[in-house]
Structures are given as structure tokens and as C-alpha cells.
Amino acid sequence: VSAGIVTLLTDFGLRDGYVGAVKGALLSRNPRLRLVDVSHDLEPGDVTAAAWALRQSAPAFPPGCVHLVVVDPGVGGERRGLACRSGSQLFVAPDNGVLHWILGDAPIVRSLAVADSASPVFHGRDVFAPAAAALAAGAALEPLGPGVEPDSLVRLPFAPAERGGDTWRGTVVHVDRFGNAITDLELPADVRGVAEVTGRAVPLRRTYSDVADGEPVALRGSSDTLELSCNGSSAARSLGIGLGDVIVFRVD
């Protein structure tokens, strides 16, 4: 079943007409589509941020939604365009790592055919939007292009999180606008422990206000992963951590 919903996640910003052009291309294929903006102000070309924003948002949507991602510095070059079904959700995106965290156990992936008429500098409008509109209308993945081995997809250069024994390890994969440093280490709901951050022990608490203003705190974040925060300020800045840093979590 298709929900007729297409979400949009791009690095187009909000002072050009590109977001509008993609929306127009979607609605031209199907004026009944329901378009949902996720974010458009990602740093230009920031594939990692897009991948995590997708991980944060897509699981909340009802089955059959199509998630269109246009963060595409390689547009018009060798990189493939993809249509993908993972679990109950559908994705249309360039093959540059943006699907890193949402690929489940057995995704079905196709490589999008590119029409001669497509602008080589705007696949978001001319290749991805038509594919997303078709999927949102209930079309099958198969006619969109040849099959792709999931193992051949571009991945982001993050080692998988480790949860062996009582010393777990995750990597900071995103720093959000509030300065929270978010890792990919999934925490069970009832775990207890302490994060080690640049030599400092930061205890796991329930929420920001469980520590005093400005104090660091470890949390099970809203994507169920370990997160370092400071109540009322930037944890990334005050703890001196950033993207790619490995955080150790010692289970009690």
C-alpha cells in the first residue's frame, strides 16, 4: 500500500528555487501527492548529516512513504541513482552513503534509469522526483531500472558500534543544532552505565534536566542511541568532541 506521501530531504537551502522545482516535478506527475519537508538546510554536500537525518526521521513515518533525498555532490557523474525498499519504507537517493543507516536486513534496490532529456546537473528534479512520484502512486520498484546488489552500495566510513562484554563502543555520527553529540551505539531501554569522553566519566541519565545547567550528561537519545549532551549548551563544544570520535560506554 502506498500512503501517497513523499518526504523531502535536501541541501538546497531556502533561498533558491531548487526545492520548488523538485516539488513541482513531483506534483506534475501526480497533483494528489502529499509532500512533507524534512530539512533543506543541510550543509551543501553533507552526505553524513543527510544519512543521520534520514535515520532520525524515516522510522516515524507510516508504511509506504517515499523518502526522497537530494544531497548529491556527484550529480551527473558516475554515481548511481537508487530506488530502495527497506522494511515498510521506500527511498529514492543517490548512491553516496546517504542510505547507510536505513538499509535493513534485506533491502531491495534498483539503479534508476536516466532519460536522455534529464538535465545532467539536476537529477533531483528530472530523475529522482519522477521515480519518487511513481513509487508514491503505488508503482513497483522493478521498472525503474536494473537490480543492484545491496553489498555494492556506497557506505559511510564508520565502523559498526560494538556491544560485546561490558565495554561498548560507538562513534559520534552527528552533532545536532543544539550541540548534542549523537553516536550510533544503540542502548537498550534499561541499560545503566557511564560514558567515557576524553578521559572524563559522564554518567547516563534520563533527560537533560537530570544534571545542573551546563553539566555534561549521557542519554539514550531519541533514536535509542548513546548521546552526549549539556543541559542548556553545546556538549560537542564543551566536551571537545565531534564527528567520528569514538566513545566508550561502560555498562554497570
Site for its own copies in 95-154 (CB under 8 A): 119-122, 125
Instruction: Give the nearer residue to its own copies in terms of CB position, either 20 or 147.
Output: 20
**Residues contacting its own copies: total by CB under 8 A:** 72
d(CA 210, CA 228): 13
Q: Least distance in Å: CB of 133 to its own copies?
A: 11
Altogether, the residues listed in the chain come to a count of 252
Q: Cell numbers 550543509 correspond to what residue?
A: 43
Instruction: Give the nearer residue to its own copies in terms of CB position, either 61 or 162.
Output: 61
Long-range Cβ pairs for the range 162-166 (8 Å, 24+)? 166/193, 166/250, 166/251
Q: Check binding of 243 to its own copies (CB under 8 A).
A: no
Q: Which three cell numbers stand for residue 231?
A: 543541559
Residues 67-96 that bind its own copies (CB under 8 A): 73-78
Alpha helices in the chain (DSSP H): 18-29, 47-57, 123, 129-136, 235-239
Q: Least distance in Å: CB of 148 to its own copies?
A: 21
Q: Least distance in Å: CB of 44 to its own copies?
A: 5
Residues 164-183 that bind its own copies (CB under 8 A): 174, 176-178
Strand 216-220 and strand 167-175: the pairing is: unpaired
Q: Check binding of 201 to its own copies (CB under 8 A).
A: no
Using CB under 8 A, pick the residue from 24, 146, 147, 244 that binds its own copies. 24
Contact status, residue 197 vs residue 247, Cβ threshold 8 Å: yes
